[in-house]
A and B are shown apart, each in its own frame.
Chain A
Amino acid sequence: MTINGNRITFKMTPFRLVLIAFSLVFVGIVAYRLVNGLQMTNLTDAWPWGLWIFIDVKLGVALAAGGFTTAGIYYVLGVKKVKSVVKPAILTAWLGYCLVGFGLLMDLGRWYGWWHPIFSWGEHSVMFELYMCVLLYTIVLTCEFAPTLFKGIGLVKLSSFFKSLTAPLVIGGIALSTMHQSSLGSMYVLTLGKLNELWWTMLLPILYYSSAVAVGPAMVTCETALAGRFFGHDWDEPAMTFLAKWSGYVMSFYAVLRFSDLAIRGQIGSLLALDTESLMCLLELAIGCVLPLYFFWSYKLRGKVMTQKMIVRNAVLLVLGVALNRGNVVFTGMAKAAGESYFPSAAELFLSIGLVSVGILVYLFIVENFDVFPAHGHCVATGNKQAQPEAAGCARA
């Protein structure tokens, strides 16, 4: 069996062995969960949603926003210099959505009925809209990445068929993403009176969408930096600088909206109250908004070139900020209404860790065997016409 004319490779490293160990634990927990239900979780009537909804759904979807944003920047806005990141971004988004789908399935109490919404429409439900969009967008992402997969296993005709669909897929993908990224916020509009006013606003859908559009490229930047270190790629400066600026501008829009919303709703007082909610909100705003925007605008206004270090640092801050924001909505903001505390059980933790481990392993396998990253001269030079930048010798991850 060969891929792109090369033998299938998967180099074992200590890091990968750890991931495989986590994945095995994951398989065990999943089997147990599917048979025995949610008893292994620490979820209660007061906390019907916990770690799985936060990591596997809320955060997973937001961080996988890199797929539709970079595809949009490249194909729709025609910014050709980001070319090198588009395919890896679509790959991570595709894997991300597969993990989200699986994570959501694990969270469903009556998981065998996962297909019910397709036939029984709850059209007044944000959850219904979210379900439909995530389902369709996962299919769209599969089709977007299909050319690379089919080309790898030698089905050239199928590959070029899917490639010819690229434009409608990308545009449809952005439309679907717009709907469901904002829906993750709209979902909490119904919790008026329960969710703390620092987070409850009618602008939730716009805030969620704009932060996703900002954090998507930031996540791509983090992934590119990591992959670059492991696989020894060059730093694609024009592409990365563009993404950093994109995130900077979008995040500025978000920050203006977020702060003016807090001010107009008269929440500045409770923001500075220094109780748990206010401290968590301040932390979220400092890490996710103020710091990255300070760095971005101080470089921008002084006309300095953004260095790799600064770009990666800003991207990490944005990712942390969005994680804090989503976590605050799911946990901090709902704590008072719940009236009791929640901490995930070991099974919940290891299922989430295992799910991400499986994702990383599949990612590593695909980038090592398929044409995901552009070819680089300093990797194994082969006589083969098709570049194989991630041949075994290059992989250090």
Chain B
Amino acid sequence: MSKGVLVDMTKCFGCGACTVACKLWNEKKYDEVNKPTLGDKAQLVDINWTVVSKHDVTDTSGQAAWRFAKKQCLHCVDPACASSCLVGALRKTPEGPVVYHPDLCVGCRYCMVACPFNIPKYEWDKSFPKVSKCQMCSSRVAVGEQPACIAVCPNQVMTFGDRDQLVQEAHKRIEGNQQLYVNHVFGETEVGGTAWLYLSDQPFNRLGFKTAVPQESLPAFTWQILSKLPMILVGWTAILSGLYFFNKRRNAIAEGKQDSTGGPQS
């Protein structure tokens, strides 16, 4: 059963414990001056696999308020990055995480172009850079544990579980408190669904979410084309061979002699 995470952003107060847990578990460096993990300048970069970004919004009573959004790879159900990789260095595991295998990667960066959420980052300052993104603590998930960031959250913002059940849980929570939540589970249908699901009391685009994404799986579009190629290859070669022999014979007859294949080489 594919795992997922439900993030209830109304509960997050922006302590950033999850970003610390992520750095510790994945042994990533700190650079809070240039690459902050917390606040309004927080950004996913090579050393930040997860960040908590701060957003100034207006709440339902018209008061200025802060909201915090935990960002990381959304681990798509049908990931564009994995389908784009020419060596299969990015793979969706049966448990849910989309995992990167640096030993295979050649560094073409098509995954970065392909990702609808611009999640994969690159170690631009390294001689032999790797692609860098959240692995959803795949080694923990594989043995039934929850990712490190979830385990440390002091306010139970995130719920780890089976994705399908979490989708139901999310809708239950929206129904239970319609005045609070926006009636949308971000990640339920975006690009065909993502393992990470979000609930919010603010429109998602105000919290820095990319909402203008297709609602269907992206690799399916490419596959429509790729799956036809073997047939086209065989058919086209047959047509070309036929044309070749037909025109060779026609030219030979026109010249009124034994055909001379001699091309411009001769």
Contact = CB atoms under 8 A, between A and B. Distances in A.
Interface in B108-128: 108-110, 112-114, 116, 118, 121-122, 124-128
A148 B263 CA distance: 12
Interface of B: 45-46, 80, 82-89, 104-110, 112-114, 116, 118, 121-122, 124-130, 212-214, 218-219, 221-226, 229, 232-233, 236-237, 240-241, 243-244, 247-248, 250-251, 261, 263-266
Lowest 5 CB-CB distances: which A-B pairs, in order? A109-B107, A78-B247, A128-B86, A48-B112, A48-B109
B88 A108 contact: no
Contacts of B126: 37
Nearest to A339: B118
Contact of A108 (B108, B224, B251, B266): B108
Interface string A188-203: 0111111000000010
A116 B87 contact: yes
B113 A191 contact: yes
A187 B110 contact: yes
Contacts of B124: 37-39, 43-45
Contact of B105 (A113, A170, A175): A113
A302 B187 CA distance: 60
Contact of A109 (B45, B80, B83, B128): B128
Contacts of A166: 261, 263, 265
20 contacts: A48-B113, A78-B248, A80-B251, A109-B122, A111-B106, A117-B106, A120-B104, A121-B88, A122-B85, A124-B222, A124-B226, A127-B108, A166-B261, A167-B244, A175-B237, A191-B113, A191-B114, A192-B221, A193-B213, A202-B225
Interface string A302-331: 000000000000000000000000000000
A103 interface: no
Contact of B129 (A38, A80, A114, A191): A38
B87 A108 contact: no
Select the residue from A163, A194, A202 with max chain B CB neighbours within 10 A.
A194
Interface in A189-242: 189-194, 202, 205
Nearest to B234: A175
A77 interface: yes
Contacts, number: 186
A189 B218 CA distance: 8
Select the residue from A122, A172, A337 with max chain B CB neighbours within 10 A.
A122
Contacts of A35: 127
B210 to A, nearest CB: 8
A191 B213 CA distance: 10
Chain A, interface SS category: helix
A124 B222 CA distance: 8
Given A109-B122, A129-B229, A190 B221 contact: yes
Select the residue from B87, B221, B247, B265 with max chain A CB neighbours within 10 A.
B265
B31 to A, nearest CB: 15
A258 B224 CA distance: 20
Nearest to B246: A78
A197 B127 CA distance: 36
A205 B128 CA distance: 32
Interface string A102-116: 000001111111101
A46 interface: yes
Contacts of B104: 113, 116, 120
A171 B244 contact: yes
Interface string A125-136: 111111100000
A39 B124 CA distance: 6
A61 interface: no
Contacts of A187: 110
Given A78-B248, A109-B129, A148-B265, A49 B219 contact: no
B112 A108 contact: no
Given A77-B243, A147-B265, A178-B236, A337 B118 contact: yes
A84 B244 contact: no
A36 interface: yes
Contact of B226 (A75, A121, A126): A126
Select the residue from A45, A80, A166 with max chain B CB neighbours within 10 A.
A45
B86 A76 contact: no
Nearest to B245: A167
Contacts of A374: 264
A110 B84 contact: no
